[in-house]
Each structure stands twice: as C-alpha cells, then as structure tokens.
Amino acid sequence: MSAPGQADPAAGRPAAAPGPGRARGPGPGLPPPAPEPARAPQPPGATRLLPDAWRQRGSGVCLIATRCGHCGTLTFPPAAACPRCWQRAGLREEPLAQPGTVAACTVVHTPAEGIPAPYALAYVDFPGGIRLCGRLESWDDIAPGDRVTAVAGVLRSRPGGDLLGWLFRKAGS
C-alpha cells in the first residue's frame, strides 16, 4: 500500500512478466485482456486484491482460475504450480463458471479498517470445487442456495488508496 501522493509502486512493474511464477498462458474461453487492463481508470494509489485473479468486463468481473494440463485440477487464485501433481508447466488460465452458489452468509456488525459496518460476507461455491469468501453487494434478500455473480467494487476505502476487487451480486438483479 502506498502513502498518499506517492506513485503506485506496482505501476512501473511489467505486467505479467515471464518468470518462475508465471509460466502459464490464457486458456480457451477466457476473454483476452483489455489492451490496458483495469489499471487505467484506477485512482492513484489504489491496489487490486489478487491482481492476476480477475478482469473487469463492464461492471462484471471474470474470475480467473488455473487448470492443470496434466491432472485437470482447478485452482483459484491462479497458481504457479499445481497443488495436486506439482506440475509447474502447462497451467492454463480458465474463467470460473458463473453464477456461483451461496453456501452460507452473514452480516457483520463490527467495522473493519476501511469497511464500514454493517457489511455482509458469503461463502460462494463454483463448479470445480472452488469456494470463495467474498462480500455481498447487498444482502436484504440473499440466502444460501441463491446464485450470485461477481461485480467490480471497492473492498476497503483507505486514505492511501482503495483496495479494489469484486463483490457478489444476486444473479439477475
């Protein structure tokens, strides 16, 4: 996190530089990255949660996993090595199939740094055995079993720059 007025330390870093942790390519079904991915409209100082794991498409968010070309295991966030067979090569990016399904949810009544209370959290299950914990955009009518999709949002508001990521929204609303 950078202090107010300082440049985003990530700004000068080459995006997705090839290296030991990045020996993977885009898989089928994945939208091509925008010419300048979501960094351009981002306010100064803002940071992205798990920057390799999501791409904004309009207000929607494509969540990106990796699938192991060797054993087929799906991993989120994108992995540098398959946790099942330890292969480092042949991991292909693959979008998580949305909508996900709410496994459980709660309303939290204590504020956290940069998160005013109340706010709502859910465990959301996706095909392939992936469960994500994430914030709900609104929670008046959400219950376990409901379908949700990811939308872009601010996870934490901070003086030095917001933390950007995805929130879950009831599908079709």
- Which residues contact other proteins (rule: CB under 8 A)? 49-50, 77, 103-110, 112, 115, 119, 121-123, 125, 129-131, 133-135, 144, 155-156, 163, 165
Name which of 73 and 91 has its Cβ closer to other proteins: 73
Count of residues making up the chain: 173
Least separation in angstroms between CB 80 and other proteins: 15
Residue pair 135/167 in contact by the 8 Å Cβ criterion: yes
Name which of 25 and 129 has its Cβ closer to other proteins: 129
Least separation in angstroms between CB 134 and other proteins: 5
Q: What are phi and psi of 124, to 5 degrees?
A: -120, 125
Q: What are phi and psi of 53, to 5 degrees?
A: -100, 0
In one-letter notation, the amino acid at residue 81 is A
Closest C-alpha to 110, from 99, 120, 100: 120
Least separation in angstroms between CB 150 and other proteins: 12
Distance (Å, whole) CA 38 – CA 154? 13
Distance (Å, whole) CA 70 – CA 22? 17
Q: How many C-alpha atoms does 156 have within 13 Å on its Cβ side?
A: 15
Name which of 80 and 115 has its Cβ closer to other proteins: 115
Tokens of 1: 């996190």
Least separation in angstroms between CB 63 and other proteins: 12
Name which of 25 and 112 has its Cβ closer to other proteins: 112
Name which of 13 and 109 has its Cβ closer to other proteins: 109
Least separation in angstroms between CB 68 and other proteins: 15
